[in-house]
Amino acid sequence: MTANLLDFDIEGLAAFCAGLGEKPFRATQVFRWIHQRGASDFSAMTDLAKSLRDKLAVAAHVAAPAVISQHASADGTIKWLFDVGGGDAVEAVFIPETDRGTLCISSQAGCAVGCRFCSTGHQGFSRNLSTGEIVGQLWFAEHFLRKHLGRDTRVISNVVMMGMGEPLQNYSALLPALQVMLSDHAYGLSRRRVTVSTSGVVPMMDRLAADCPVALAVSLHAPDDALRKQLVPLNLKYPLADLLGACERYLEHAPRDFITFEYCMLDGVNDSAEQAQQLVRLLAGYGGGRSWCKINLIPFNPFAASGLLCSPPQRVQAFAQVLIAAGLTTTVRKTRGQDIDAACGQLAGDVMDRTHVQERMQRLRTVQVVRAPVAVAGAAL
Ligand code: SAH
Ligand code: SF4
């Protein structure tokens, strides 16, 4: 098997090229061809010496995970299901807005954290994605969208690691993937336009702060440890005091930033006015009295196995009002792509029933009607 060049950040590619007897600037050229121009065929990289193109053709390839299906929502959202082999599949979702294009990508097939309200969590953990599989979702989506929208400039302006999996439990593959997203020779995304969302893997939050302090979203979901450990089992290992301490330390590396707290609104579980007050008191204990966080209330996307329901809209609004009255910046997330199961926590891949995954993939390949995204996304962009 030859090396997949999507697995490398620019330093990794320079090391790989050095192994072929090539100078580092050659790696930069190759990197730009791949990420900025979407090239996967070395013979098309016309400004490289023929000798290098020949060496690369023997030793390397460029391949994103294969697309099993693509669905376009009425609101312009597009969801792709990628085959990552061994019966596993992961999803990525493109969400166009007037001023930005956000791609939500996956970091693992399944997830080991097992949050009660999350469909990925209910499937259990299958495996970590490689750097190439993480970057491949962006590489594919960006160049697909450019081609189909007839654009030669960037379509994806923001990346959020909010698909399947816990990114901070796959740190060694995540870090080079983030470096590729930020590199000026690749996607050139600014640090604040790349968001890692975590359920609270405290030691890895510290690592990320030191290595690559991108925007951080923390999945909170409860104002106290007793409830949070029921919803997010990782809270048993890293309780709220540890988690919020890590958030404060994170901001020391990114002083003008803020932490976004995600809070999934669950009917009768975590959505009372009293719990909103508790949340205000909890957060007031951190951040040294300055404005240091934002709260994003996410309407729960129900699925049968969870046994949970979404809070009614009035309760979400009442909860938000308590936070806002206390001076906390609070937003209620708009649900996008619900008609194609692309909303938060609906990303199920096809890992659920592992025995029938291959059969289902075959069926998807053969019979699924893939709606063309072009007109919809074009209009929304
Ligand atoms: N593992 C990471 C990132 C992936 S989950 C994390 O937990 O942060 C991304 C976001 O979707 C998290 O905030 C998660 O709590 C939320 N989420 C999961 N299931 C959901 C559901 N059914 N409805 C709404 N949001 C959900
Ligand atoms: Fe994993 Fe995040 Fe889902 Fe929890 S919410 S199970 S951490 S993907």
What would the DSSP string read from start to end of 85-100?
A: ETTEEEEEEEEE-SS-
Q: Is the pLDDT at 358 greater than 70, yes or no?
A: no
Residue nearest (by alpha carbon) to ligand 1 atom 18? 345
Cα-based distances in Å from 361 to 69, 83, 120, 356 = 9, 8, 18, 9
- Burial of 345 by CB count in 10 Å (0-12 exposed, 13-18 middle, 19+ buried)? buried
Nearest C-alpha neighbor of 218 from the set 303, 128, 319, 286: 286
Q: For the segment 196-226, what is each residue's pLDDT rounded down to a tens digit? A: 999 999 999 999 999 999 999 999 999 999 9
| pLDDT band at 342; cut points 50, 70, 90 | low
Report the alpha-carbon distance of residue 156 to residue 241 in Å, rounded. 36
Residue nearest (by alpha carbon) to ligand 1 atom 22? 345
What rounded mean pLDDT belongs to the chain?
Answer: 90
Cα-based distances in Å from 27 to 8, 143, 280 = 10, 20, 50
- Based on the residue annotation, tell me whether 359 is a catalytic residue of this protein: no
Mutate to test the pocket of ligand 2, among 108, 118, 263 (most ligand atoms within 8 A of CB): 118
Q: For the segment 20-72, what is each residue's pLDDT rounded down to a tens digit? A: 999 999 999 999 999 999 999 999 999 999 999 999 999 999 999 999 999 99
Which class is domain 66-371? alpha beta
The neighbouring-strand residues paired with 78 are: 72, 94
Atom of ligand 1 nearest to the CA of 166: 1
- Based on the residue annotation, tell me whether 91 is a catalytic residue of this protein: yes
**Whole-number pLDDT of residue 256:** 84
Catalytic residue among 111, 115, 293, 344: 344
- Burial of 93 by CB count in 10 Å (0-12 exposed, 13-18 middle, 19+ buried)? buried
**Whole-number pLDDT of residue 336:** 74
Kindly state if the Cβ of 113 falls inside 6 Å of ligand 2. Answer: yes
Q: Does residue 259 sit in helix, strand or coil?
A: strand
Cα-based distances in Å from 44 to 23, 36, 69, 289 = 20, 14, 28, 56
The neighbouring-strand residues paired with 339 are: none
Cβ neighbours of 279 (radius 10 Å): 23
Buried b / exposed e across 312-343, counting CB within 10 Å, b at 16+?
eeebbeebbebbeeeebebebbebbbbebbbb
Residues of the chain with CATH 3.20.20.70: 66-371
Amino acid at 55: K
Report the alpha-carbon distance of residue 80 to residue 349 in Å, rounded. 9
Residue nearest (by alpha carbon) to ligand 1 atom 7? 199
Q: Is the pLDDT at 85 greater than 80, yes or no?
A: yes
Domain 3-61 in CATH 1.10.150.530: yes
Atom of ligand 1 nearest to the CA of 302: 22
Residues of the chain with CATH 1.10.150.530: 3-61
Catalytic residue among 17, 22, 91, 104: 91
Q: Show Cβ contacts of residue 293 under 8 Å, excluding neighbours closer than 6 positions.
A: 247, 258, 259, 260, 261, 283, 287, 328, 329
